[in-house]
Structure 1
Amino acid sequence: MTPHISRKRSTLAIATAVAAGALLAGGLATGASAQPDRAAAPSGAPVALSSTARADLLQDANTEKAATAEKIGLGAKEKLVVRDVVKDRDGTTHTRYERTYDGLPVLGGDLVVHTAKSGSVKSVTKAAKATIKVASTSAKVGAKSAAKSAESTASKSGDTKKADAQTPRKVVWAASGKPVLAHETVVTGVQKDGTPSKLHVITDAATGKKLFQYQAIENGAGHSQYSGDVEVGSKKGTSGFDLTDDTRGGHSTYDLAHGQSGEGKLVTDDDDTWGTGKPEDVQTAAVDAAYGAQLTWDYYKAVHGREGIKGDGKGATSRVHYGNAYVNAFWDDSCFCMTYGDGEGDKKPLTSMDVAAHEMTHGVTSATGNMEYSGESGGLNEATSDIFAAAVEFNAKNPEDIGDYMVGEKIDINGDGSPLRYMDKPSKDGSSLDNWSADAGNVDVHYSSGIANHFFYLLSEGSGAKEINGVKYDSPTADGSKVEGIGRDKAEKIWFKALTSYFTTTTDYKAAREGTLSAAKDLYGADSAEYKGVDAAWAGVNVK
């Protein structure tokens, strides 16, 4: 049955249960993930930063940003803008910056400076390898022409209805090839399935030629699942109770009542007894959404030491009952919110724990690696959400939804009982890629994500036939090699470390391999079985 709450949750009890689940990850499995890593955290592991400690590190980085720019050899017209920071147990900090050139934002100019405890720069990870420089910052093509061109692009793509271009901003485009002066235009509207559209179109400011486009609304297909009776965070309101969890940054759940805009109405109840377990009760979807959000918050905090999506201790919001018969869910960074449709016939709300984890992880990605939602980087962005959705599901230890390496296995969106996506052999869904090829960047991000999903499965569990939590898997490799898994617990930590310390907006599969190898080196050493396992798993999906 769909979850509902009988009374207000016990925060301590649930938090403790989730933490225990993290320590005992995969305890029922027969594969490599059955035994978690219980060793002391390695020196390269990130430390848990309180919101105050994180704010202090960001302030220090902001104070020193001019000196840092000089240290790493940036030009006189280039300036750094501090965005995020991660600190390791050995004192190393990984500070993420955006970059400007002569006052203009540089798209693809983001970088991560890796600084030793002593203050010396160890290395720099850059999204763009080219020197940032343009002949002039005066545009030959005007803003009105750029906006009109962007609207035409959106309309022709067929992905945006009712296209409406916002005023373009002048930027330096450095994400591919030689940096050029460009216009970035955001075209708003509605996608084919009813999802809001925020299409970013980049056009050359000298010629008007389109250089790039990507969709800012990051959505995933439905994962509506039933989690049984659960407890969710609420608090006493002015009249009754509000579905707001102050123990998790004030995460609140709102009812859009089938609208497609605005924040909606905060979900409230007279007696703190929420939902009936039936989709006809409007509170039921809200309970699912709130439950998924709390499990995701607890997972990131307990396993990775990250408090909240941005690491600043602030909760996001969830909006339920979006549109009519909307079969999807999406993350929108501009409202810092997750939004869920009610599915076919408004009977299957897409509000399960793994879809919540998937959407919230888009927010984590936006605050860290921020891989562009297009091409290979878009596939990695989408796979990151699938990877941590699986991780949250395994760690939740919910008896009604035992962890597995399938996506959307409960929703029956295909009408035949099959999952939406498979991580052990992604091509079983008929569209996803098992392995990398030169065409991977031309495939829809929900399908090119299969490469990284497959890598993560191989890294966690290894290749070949096995049974985990009652589910049978049989994972092949691109070259027929045998891959030994290192366990899901370690695989999760390596991917998170790479995401927060080494991935950038332009990270492709080759760079993802390099980033995860760097992460494995930091965490376990260059001669470790974990490092070798990362290398073997990438080879298993043809990324070498």
Structure 2
Amino acid sequence: MRNITQRQPSLLGQLRELDPNLNIQWDEVRGVASSIRGNLTAPAVAPTNLRAVAEPNSLAFLETYGELLGPPDISRSLRLLRSRTDDLGWVHLEFQQYYYPNGEQPVLRELIQDNAIEVYGSKLAAHFLLDGILREIQSSCWRDIQLDNQIQIGIEELREILTQAVAKAPGSRELQSRLREQGAENFPIMQTPRLVLYPWQGKFLLAWTTYGYGVIDVEDPAGNKTGDQRIELGHIFVDASTGEQFIFAPTRKYQGIETPDTGSGLGVTPLGGPYVSRSLNIVRVDASSTYRLKDTTHDRNIIAYDADANSSWSYPYIYDPLDDGTIPISEDTEGDKTWDRLPANTTDTERRSSQQPEVDAFFFCREAYEWYNALAGSRDGWDNGQYPDPPVPPQLPVRVLTHVYDADSGTSRSVNAFSDFGFTKNGKVIAYLAFFDGDATATCSNPNDSAFDYLAGSKAVVGHEYQHSITDFSFQDGAGNPGLMYVSNTWYAAVHEGLSDVFGCLFAENWFPGLDISSVGLAVRNLAFPRDPNTWANRPYKNNNIACGLSNHNKDHFDDRNLSSFQYDRGTILAHCAYLIGQGGVHQRGSRTPVLIPVYSIGRETINGKDILKAARIWYRSLTVYFSNIGGATGLPGNDENTFRTLRNGCVSAAEDIYGVDSLEHKTTILAFYAVGLHPVGTTYGADVTFLRWGASWWMSRPYIGISSPDWSSVDLFINNGGASEWNALINIIDSTGNPTQYENTVYCRVRNVGDQAAQNVQVKFYYAKVGTPSGWLEVTDKDGNIQVLNIGTLVAGESNFPDSAQNSPPASASVKWYIPPLAAGETVDHFCLKAVVTSDNDVNTYNNEVQSNIAYAPYTPGTPFRLPFIVTNPLDEEIALELKVQGPLPRRWKARILEDTQGIRLKPREERLLNLTIDMPPGEDQQLEHPFDGEVRGKVFGSLSGPFAGTLTDITWDGQRLKGRLVGNLDEIGSFIGSFEGTLDVKTWQIKGRATGNFQCAGTGNSGQPCLGLEACLRPLRRIDISQLVNGQPINGTTVQVQVPIPDNPYTWKLPPTNTYVVPEAAGCKNRSLLFLAVAIALLLFVLMWLYVTQQPVELIR
């Protein structure tokens, strides 16, 4: 703390006496504590009285400690802006800071009320627990204020200045004329101006603020200015001394009797049909055969409009036509209550006649309304009844427009969507979402193609735009206006876009927005891996070789924040963090130690009748409780970037509020923000020992980090008895003389300290389970009965006990011995489950300390079906429906299926049931590969970079000559690569040769480049079948069956482990030929017996 008074440290000391665990965040620019969290007061009153006493209790606290949060007399310079009680019973108060001129500038007193002027964006919030304890107080107030300018501009001069500013802009006269026809007489001003004190670039400026029309520079999709201009409605701030407009923040963010009834309609997806049918809440007009897309079953109406590409109903002429009902609501006039009109072709006329986007926009808005209502405990639409009238009318509808005319393209054939709020001629707020029609003819074969169909057909895109309105209606200024200002290339715009990606994806549970409406399989952005070079956002723009791109540079770490100021590039940092908490995945950063930080999903819960990701509750509470009172933009980028840190602190507080301090949810939220570089400045995270768990826990990140892991095994817990490292334990029965040999498997365990402090006294304990037996978890021992413990000792911050590059040559220091005693008489075991648990004396997160590997091996037996009996079980306390998913990258002629009919099966608590998986393997796979080819790659690269390469090749296409796909992997000790491969495949030797292009990140330095490399390697296609048991669509356990197809000889072939679990070593120095033949015969007999076991005996999915 540098900007601190002599008295403030003393006050902090007094607060720490009340609560030694106080958490304080300091704002160096404002000279105040931006947040103080702890038990700040004693319990006050019974909950029924809390709302009444919260305000006086807040002011009483400020009488003593107010100088920590603003000027010494802060309690007298605050006015209550709003208060509410949330779904946890907490009470939240939001105050606005005012400044009293005390005789300065006499003319000023004539322009303000009560001799006080609003310090714009400067707020204080107090948060009270149910028992009356003041739990947290936040401040964006200013400690030291002085006026830095004189009033020289009045309201009439202001109107003249703003009129001149738009006079020469294209369309200015037409806009003014049409607005006057609608009754707006004060163009370009749409709201009565008011005088505020605005903190801007280190000064306190007297400024006029209003909503009105202004001119912006048009940007291309990459955020670069094109040289053109256009008029937008926005929030205006003008220096009251000089007349300079220093902020213009557009409000538009891109991207009779009616009887309730129900109907249906066809949606946009899947592209090409058959299209999904949506159930719709509609209204009937009088007793006619006309029905409308208007849902009146909620506290706010939801209405879908058909703008029919009419330029009169486009931005910025839309507010009064929406208010007076000129724009038609989407209708069915045939009386069948069905919206099923489809385009007959791809002409503009036919495209705008389709009812599909109207159906989806309407349906998804209803789903979003109900989703947010569940998140909040109760939320009425966008405004939630939190705003005065005027400017926000009561019962503000949720309005959505489709087939919207785009003035820039002169048609509705535009790949865009936006959220907007503005004002009618009478100053009434109107809010709506708008969706263009996309371009069904684009194929990415031409430069600048945008191959996306109707934008309203993507749930994540609709959710993104819906959240823009939620964000705007989470903020309120001193005049009761909603809105968080949005100026391109600023941190506040990045917050807007980041939050819309966060909630759009949490709502849709789809982290690849737009992928579902892309005819060429492109996502708009990839929130699982924002740096993915093959998204619409990140592909090059205006490139004659690569179409469908915007030339963005989406980021996933806060340290990269200044590499691009574009809001979409910065916003993905927040969205990727939400992905880590909600979906679970791995954050990869080549310049960081550790390179990989796994973060596992905190799961889901049913809240207010909705099954919702827990992460959504945390982010929603962070926004509406802890973030909605942040200060306005200061024009100081180093200070405005703290908006991201404020969101982080809000999420951590929200996780603690909802789920408890040190809970799984609380610890995981802290870890996720640490992974993306948003841990509080000047503090340490601590030591955190963990593993890369089985692939099912991070499957969505798997294609982007170059590590091939089965769904139900971990690359950090494996066996290597010579050759490749995999998961096959060997059971010794007898040697060639018929005697037990006490064979010991070698188990390796990689422990990752993802923290920033050394982990002390790191130990790993091991357990195994014999699948199909009631033995439970047993401790791993060596042949002498010694319990195996891996003592690592001190593990350096960010390091593992051995690197990922040593997967197939792990050090002995990372191993333990595992002796499996001979099976008892009648005991049958198909395979084993192996588990490891790590501990450390100073581990800050004990929720990620366990890893498990389950796998069964199947030999490649062409023409002979392989059968694997397995057991499903219900580990829960309530009855569940049996839900199984069998999937795997198998060739077309292969078949994997469950023999039994599982439809309608329900399992009681602890109930088990036997099922059977069969795999049909046609001959020829070991002679010539068949599609699919996705799999592991090992070989070498050469060119500007050279060396051994190991990774994955996925999303492969092959025309019989050329092989293309996504290549991700690592060069030993050099760095990581993600990009595309194009080349040849020898289907007989499995060898690939070709060119790799993409992004390379250098280990240690973080320097990146876009090399063109040669690649020669062996491609081993995955032949795995993952059997997953699910509850409510989420996997709870499973096993992987690995079909071991022999790799043909080529320069990059590697040795595979055996498929059987039995070993019969040859007798040392055996010279007796008959004895040798006997040993071979015994071995063959044992293999036959093993085969009978494999094809007849059940295995459990998991222990």
Q: Tell me the TM-score normalized by structure 2.
A: 0.38
How far is 1:80 from its partner?
A: 2.5
Distance 1:132 1:211, change over 3 A: farther
- Matched residues in 1 for 2:146 and 2:165: separation? 25
Matches within 5 A, 1:82-481: 82=82, 85-89=84-88, 91-101=89-99, 102=115, 104-119=117-132, 121-126=134-139, 128-131=140-143, 133-135=145-147, 139-143=151-155, 146=158, 165-166=188-189, 168-174=193-199, 177-188=202-213, 192=218, 197-220=232-255, 226=270, 228-238=276-286, 239=288, 240-248=290-298, 249-258=300-309, 259-260=313-314, 261=318, 262-263=321-322, 264-270=327-333, 271=335, 272-278=337-343, 279-307=351-379, 308-312=381-385, 315-323=397-405, 324-325=411-412, 326-333=414-421, 334-344=429-439, 348-352=453-457, 353-368=459-474, 371-374=484-487, 375-394=490-509, 404-412=510-518, 416-428=520-532, 429-430=537-538, 431=552, 432-437=554-559, 439-440=561-562, 443-464=565-586, 476=589, 479=592, 480-481=595-596
- Matched residues in 2 for 1:156 and 1:71: separation? 54
How far is 1:510 from its partner?
A: 1.7
- Matched residues in 1 for 2:454 and 2:282: separation? 21
Return the letter of the residue paired with 1:243. L
Write out per-residue CA displacement over residues 403-439 of structure 1, whole angstroms, 9 at most, x where no aligned residue. x211221333xx8532111102212242222222475
- Matched residues in 2 for 1:451 and 1:368: separation? 21
Distance 1:451 1:290, change over 3 A: same
How far is 1:64 from its partner?
A: 7.6
Q: Residue 536 in 1 paired to residue 690 in 2?
A: no
- Matched residues in 1 for 2:152 and 2:556: separation? 45
CA contact 1:225–1:351 (8 Å) conserved in 2: no
Distance 1:153 1:93, change over 3 A: farther
SS in 2 for 1:117: coil
Question: Which range moved further: 514-523 or 483-492?
Answer: 483-492
- Matched residues in 1 for 2:57 and 2:169: separation? 44
Distance 1:225 1:205, change over 3 A: farther
- Matched residues in 1 for 2:663 and 2:293: separation? 46
Specify the alignment match of 2:645 in structure 1: 510
SS in 2 for 1:290: helix
Aligned length: 462
Q: How much is the aligned-residue C-alpha RMSD, in angstroms?
A: 3.9
- Matched residues in 1 for 2:161 and 2:332: separation? 49
- Matched residues in 2 for 1:497 and 1:156: separation? 45
**Higher normalized contact order (CA 8 Å, seq sep 6+, divided by chain length):** 1
How far is 1:105 from its partner?
A: 4.1
How far is 1:503 from its partner?
A: 0.5
- Matched residues in 2 for 1:195 and 1:136: separation? 33
CA contact 1:132–1:179 (8 Å) conserved in 2: no
- Matched residues in 2 for 1:485 and 1:205: separation? 52
- Matched residues in 2 for 1:433 and 1:160: separation? 38
Write out per-residue CA displacement over residues 33-65 of structure 1, whole angstroms, 9 at most, x where no aligned residue. xxxxxxxxxxxxxxxxxxxxxxx999x67x986
Choose 1 or 2 for highest CA Rg: 2
SS in 2 for 1:543: coil
Question: Which range moved further: 275-284 or 448-457?
Answer: 275-284
How far is 1:338 from its partner?
A: 1.3
Question: Which range moved further: 104-113 or 259-268?
Answer: 104-113
Q: Which runs of 5+ in 2 are unaligned?
A: 1-47, 67-73, 100-114, 177-186, 220-228, 256-266, 344-350, 386-394, 406-410, 422-428, 442-451, 476-482, 539-551, 604-612, 632-641, 680-1103
- Matched residues in 2 for 1:275 and 1:304: separation? 34
Distance 1:196 1:255, change over 3 A: farther
Distance 1:96 1:490, change over 3 A: same
SS in 1 for 2:238: strand
CA contact 1:107–1:172 (8 Å) conserved in 2: yes
Distance 1:526 1:458, change over 3 A: same
Distance 1:158 1:196, change over 3 A: closer
Q: Tell me the TM-score normalized by structure 1.
A: 0.73
How far is 1:190 from its partner?
A: 7.9
SS in 2 for 1:508: helix
Distance 1:254 1:110, change over 3 A: farther
Identity between Structure 1 and Structure 2 (%): 22
Q: From the two aligned structures, give the one with the greater helix fraction.
A: 1
CA contact 1:433–1:450 (8 Å) conserved in 2: yes
- Matched residues in 2 for 1:160 and 1:386: separation? 34
- Matched residues in 2 for 1:216 and 1:120: separation? 38
Specify the alignment match of 2:929 in structure 1: none
Q: Which runs of 5+ in 1 are unaligned?
A: 1-55, 395-403, 465-473
